[in-house]
Amino acid sequence: MSKFQPGADNGDLCAGSAPRSEGKSLSRVRVRVALAVLVLAVAALSSASAWPPEGSPDYLDPHRPVAQRVADLLGRMTLAEKVGQMTQAERSAVDGDPELITRLGLGSVLSGGGSGPASNTPQGWADMVDRYQERALATRLRIPLLYGVDSVHGNNNLVGATIFPHNIALGATRDPDLAREIGHITATETRAAGPQWVFAPCLCVTRDERWGRTYESFGETAELVQRMETVIDGLQGTTPQDLAGPDRVLATAKHFAGDGDTTYGTSTVGTLDRGVTITDWEHFEQVDLAPYATAVERHRIGSIMPSFSSVQWTDRPGSAPTRISGSGELLTGVLKEKIGFDGFLISDWEAIHDLPGDYPEQVRTAVNAGMDMVMEPSTAPEFAQTLIAEVEAGRVPTTRIDDAVSRILTAKFRLGLFEHPYTDRTHIDTIGSAAHRAVARRAVARSQVLLKNDHQVLPLDRNRHVYVAGVNADDLGNQAGGWTVTWQGQSGNTAFPGTTIVDGIRQHAAQVTYSADASAPMTGADVGVVVIGETPYAEFFGDVGTHDRTLGLSTADRATIHKVCGTIEVCVVLDVAGRPQVITDELPEIDAFVMSWLPGGEGAGVADPLFGSAPYTGQLPVSWPRTEQQEPVNVGDRDYDPLFPYGHGLTTHDR
């Protein structure tokens, strides 16, 4: 019997933690000052004015253990107050009526993709979150609000934030330390603007690049995803105490489990997204479940978001697809009991509406299965009313409610929200800073994968005349992709700091000619650089077969390659996309081919290895198909024969 299969003995689980570095010793004068301050602090604690005030409830005492504080608060709560904590509404539903937070005692508010304050600035975000927090603190028990956002590649809803490469690019770096550093910067820029909770990282294992969320995955193997989960440590820190810092946020592993491994054609909204993972238990455990076990055991993930998708077991005769969001076997039996997850589960956007039955049945199915908080963007009052009725009718046990609320309150205590509910703006001036952008640029350079380099044409000589073509060479929106200021992202998006790829090339080359459609004369050019790729998308809109999308190159990109590579002696092609594109027919006429992924704001990082100021070291995190029909193709397959194999990547050296 496998480790996490229902009925198996999972044994003891432990979570490792990284050592904390020691600070430098103080000078003798500073030691004396520190001792004097300590004496005064001890005296203050022993005075009548010490916190908490005499007679305050235990849950307000920060010196008591979290478990004791949770138990004390839970014992004071009514059913309506408990259900309020399990309810999450979207910003747009409460912005016109902030009193809704107080009336329902909401546990959380979120901003969906592209949802933000009228003043989309760090100050505007912090003021908005604090305004909502004020309404939460007006409730009887003053339980603070938890605010969630999709910081999937930086604080990407915020105009002015540092925008990092998407996860697929980070997978290409094979650099866990870099992932941790990016997670920490993301946490710093997110919490300084108000939100304390992020719906990231995506721990899906992408097994079919026709899936529109491929770029949200670190790669096609569980081992690679597990390796890059250090991003969680960057977001949350390495101990429960770290969460209360102004540079940490609660992280969310998503989407549990198997949403990158669905079968083509099983989706009702596209081809793969929100589809059915048709699998046996062994494969599911080794590929789809493993990253979440690592997130719990090694990284103490604070919350997990179950997938929209379903699972159908091939090793259970007569098995029908079962929605993950309603599977008690997986959410409670496997995740909570066998793996030992002690955080809380948050449903995806209106995900419980996809469960069978009428609304009351959907609510009780999800909650009884183990869902702790339910994301009901525009129907929070209906959810709360329905769940209260289900409990009062005996169809949802009060023990299940108490378990869910205990998990949610534990996170809020560890985040320090009861002591410091309002935004700590200590790091607000670091948002989009030069130092943070420098890390993003380094990440872009490390993520570049050199797939072909005939005659060692790369790196390029800075003294040569470079002719640059292709729309994606000069479009911040295209190179950032989806989940950037808006949900789907958009071409021409300039609402964040950054440099385009042609900007970066101009920083290196002595002479540059740029023509988006290659219509400008090419006379005198020594090197042609063609930047091809995709336009932005997110979730099911990116599925191949949806909205006329394919893995093939656009007609314009093929024409530009033929024109430039057929005219200029040395021709380099850069692909700016969230997944491999079929380039089999064009490859023979290309001297050098680089996969640039979705680099985010720092296009200059694409140019750095192109001209040798950084080496090419990236490796493919997914297998590159010869044709679209070859998908799904993954390392370890029988008759494995991709155009470029998983892990492929040529190297160069700094000049």
- Give per-residue burial for 519-536: e unless 16+ CB within 10 Å, then b: eeebeebbbbbbbbbbbb
DSSP-derived 3-state class of residue 112: coil
Number of structural domains, the chain?
A: 2
Domain shared by 609 and 492, yes or no: yes
Rounded CA separation 452/80 (Å): 62
Q: What is the mean pLDDT of the chain?
A: 93
Q: Taking residues 590-601, what's their average pLDDT?
A: 98
pLDDT higher for 483 or 30?
483
Residue 27: inside a domain: no
Residue 102: inside a domain: yes
DSSP-derived 3-state class of residue 50: coil
550 alpha carbon, distance to own chain's centre: 24
Q: Taking residues 8-17, what's their average pLDDT?
A: 38
* pLDDT at residue 6, rounded to an integer: 65
Please answer whether residues 386 and 365 qualify as being in contact, where contact means their C-beta atoms are separated by less than 8 angstroms.
no
CATH code of the domain in which 257 resides: 3.20.20.300
Which of the listed residues 387, 404, 430 is the one where a domain comes to its end?
430
Range in 29-38, 91-100, 426-435, 514-523 the model is least confident about? 29-38
Q: Is the pLDDT of residue 15 over 60?
A: no
Domain shared by 335 and 467, yes or no: no
**Residue bearing tokens 């975000």:** 125
Q: What percent of the chain has pLDDT over 90?
A: 89
Residue 457: inside a domain: yes
Q: Taking residues 93-106, what's their average pLDDT?
A: 96
The pLDDT confidence band at residue 51, using thresholds 50, 70 and 90, is: very low
* pLDDT at residue 92, rounded to an integer: 96
Domain shared by 484 and 353, yes or no: no
Residue 643: inside a domain: no
* pLDDT at residue 220, rounded to an integer: 98
DSSP-derived 3-state class of residue 238: coil
Domain shared by 334 and 383, yes or no: yes
Domain shared by 426 and 487, yes or no: no
Rounded CA separation 429/189 (Å): 9
The pLDDT confidence band at residue 52, using thresholds 50, 70 and 90, is: low
Domain shared by 168 and 290, yes or no: yes
Residue 17: inside a domain: no
Q: Which of 259, 285, 348, 372 is catalytic?
A: 348
* pLDDT at residue 7, rounded to an integer: 55
Q: Is the pLDDT of residue 317 over 60?
A: yes
Rounded CA separation 626/499 (Å): 32
Please answer whether residues 6 and 316 qualify as being in contact, where contact means their C-beta atoms are separated by less than 8 angstroms.
no
pLDDT tens profile 268-290: 999 999 999 999 999 999 999 99
**Residue bearing tokens 């600035």:** 121
Rounded CA separation 113/646 (Å): 31
Q: Taking residues 24-28, what's their average pLDDT?
A: 37
pLDDT tens profile 132-165: 999 999 999 999 999 999 999 999 999 999 999 9
Please answer whether residues 500 and 546 qualify as being in contact, where contact means their C-beta atoms are separated by less than 8 angstroms.
no
Domain shared by 526 and 419, yes or no: no
Which of the listed residues 430, 464, 497 is the one where a domain comes to its end?
430
Structure tokens that stand for 608 in this block: 């750095």
pTM for this structure? Answer: 0.92
**Residue bearing tokens 């491999």:** 580
Which of the listed residues 384, 402, 430 is the one where a domain comes to its end?
430
Q: Is the pLDDT of residue 235 over 70?
A: yes
Q: Is the pLDDT of residue 35 over 60?
A: no
Q: Which of 181, 288, 539, 631 is catalytic?
A: 539
* pLDDT at residue 53, rounded to an integer: 62
Residue 31: inside a domain: no
Domain shared by 464 and 411, yes or no: no
Q: Taking residues 398-407, what's their average pLDDT?
A: 98
Q: Is the pLDDT of residue 404 over 90?
A: yes
Q: Taking residues 361-370, what's their average pLDDT?
A: 98
Residue 469: inside a domain: yes
Q: Taking residues 604-631, what's their average pLDDT?
A: 98
- Closest listed residue to residue 258, CA positions, set 288, 217, 281: 288
Q: Is 382 a catalytic residue?
A: no
Domain shared by 452 and 426, yes or no: no
Please answer whether residues 489 and 594 qualify as being in contact, where contact means their C-beta atoms are separated by less than 8 angstroms.
no
Q: ω into residue 117 within 30 of 0, thus cis?
A: no
* pLDDT at residue 533, rounded to an integer: 98
Domain shared by 542 and 415, yes or no: no
Q: Taking residues 485-511, what's their average pLDDT?
A: 96
The pLDDT confidence band at residue 496, using thresholds 50, 70 and 90, is: confident
Q: Is the pLDDT of residue 33 over 60?
A: no
* pLDDT at residue 37, rounded to an integer: 35
Domain shared by 595 and 505, yes or no: yes
Residue 220: inside a domain: yes
Q: Taking residues 395-411, what's their average pLDDT?
A: 98
Domain shared by 458 and 362, yes or no: no
- Give per-residue burial for 454-492: e unless 16+ CB within 10 Å, then b: eeebbbbeeeebbbbbbbbbbbbbbbbbbbbbbbbbbee
Look at strands 276-279 and 197-198 and give their pairing: unpaired
Residue 188 is inside which H or E element, if any? helix 176-191
Q: Is the pLDDT of residue 433 over 60?
A: yes
* pLDDT at residue 517, rounded to an integer: 97
Rounded CA separation 267/287 (Å): 20
* pLDDT at residue 55, rounded to an integer: 73
Please answer whether residues 576 and 447 qualify as being in contact, where contact means their C-beta atoms are separated by less than 8 angstroms.
no
Q: Is the pLDDT of residue 113 over 90?
A: yes
pLDDT tens profile 529-566: 999 999 999 998 999 999 889 999 999 999 999 999 99
CA angle, corner 95, sides to 90 and 99, nearest 5?
A: 100
- Closest listed residue to residue 582, CA positions, set 536, 625, 645: 625
Q: Is 348 a catalytic residue?
A: yes
**In terms of residue numbers, what domain contains 577?**
448-630
Q: Taking residues 53-59, what's their average pLDDT?
A: 82
CATH code of the domain in which 455 resides: 3.40.50.1700
* pLDDT at residue 548, rounded to an integer: 87
Residue 110: C-alpha distances to residues 95, 124, 346 (Å): 11, 15, 11
